[in-house]
Homo-oligomer: A and B are copies of this chain.
């Protein structure tokens, strides 16, 4: 199994990856949130690695960034 502290690291890394991808597209959290149809505060939460997102949330982010979901996992 994956220990508690490593789980934290995993979602923090995912958050950083999403931020990285967003920066590559040159858009703000607010713009990403608009595309995803959720609030900008929730994008911040996601990028900060303060939540363990579901698959569909990641699909929405990928769609908003106009990339394939698989790209998110290419750390």
Q: Residues on A close to B: CB < 8 A?
A: 1-2, 7, 10-11, 14, 36-37, 52-56, 58-60, 63, 68-70, 72-74
Contact = CB atoms under 8 A, between A and B. Distances in A.
Contact of A10 (B7, B37, B55, B73): B55
Interface of A is mostly: helix
Given A2-B63, A37-B1, A10 B70 contact: no
B1 A56 contact: no
A5 to B, nearest CB: 13
B60 A1 contact: yes
Nearest to A68: B73
A11 B59 CA distance: 10
